[in-house]
Amino acid sequence: MTIPSPRLALGQSASLSRTITEADVAAFAQFTGDLNPVHLDEDYARTTRFGRRIAHGMLSASLIGAVLGGYLPGPGSIYLSQELKFRAPVFIGDIVTARVEVVKVRDDRPLVTLATTCHNQHGELVIEGQAVILLEQA
């Protein structure tokens, strides 16, 4: 059985950029309960290797999900897996660009594999990984 995927092609990509704000970090901490002082306490954060507060890694990674569900593959996409490697910190005020690129489309099942990355405004890789998505069938 072959499942057509006419709108997906190897190398196809989409991206989304957002500025990580103080309000984003506070809301994420409140929602998740992740109150690690490296995210919330400037005095504490100054004593760490980062020298200042950093955003939650999963806050930046969640932008990948926004691209997957909103743009590519798009609405109805269902996450099956996501591998993440955090390569550099994201600071409050950084502009994070999440990008996904199709690297595999299964012919036998409605599955697609995408390379996933996030870069900051300086072009520095902050997150890399891979996602497997179940496609909505019409």
pLDDT tens across 17-70, in order? 999 999 999 999 999 999 999 999 999 999 999 999 999 999 999 999 999 999
pLDDT at 1 over 50: no
> Stretch 80-97: mean pLDDT, rounded?
98
The CATH superfamily label for domain 13-20+56-134 reads Hotdog Thioesterase (3.10.129.10)
Percent of the chain predicted with pLDDT > 90 = 90
- In the prediction, which pLDDT does 3 show? 40
Give the per-residue SS3 of 14-62: EEEEEECCHHHHHHHHHHHCCCCHHHHCHHHHHCCCCCCCECCHHHHHH
> Stretch 86-112: mean pLDDT, rounded?
96
Q: Which sequence spans correspond to the domains of the chain? A: 13-20+56-134
> Stretch 117-137: mean pLDDT, rounded?
95
In the block, residue with structure tokens 């569900």: 69
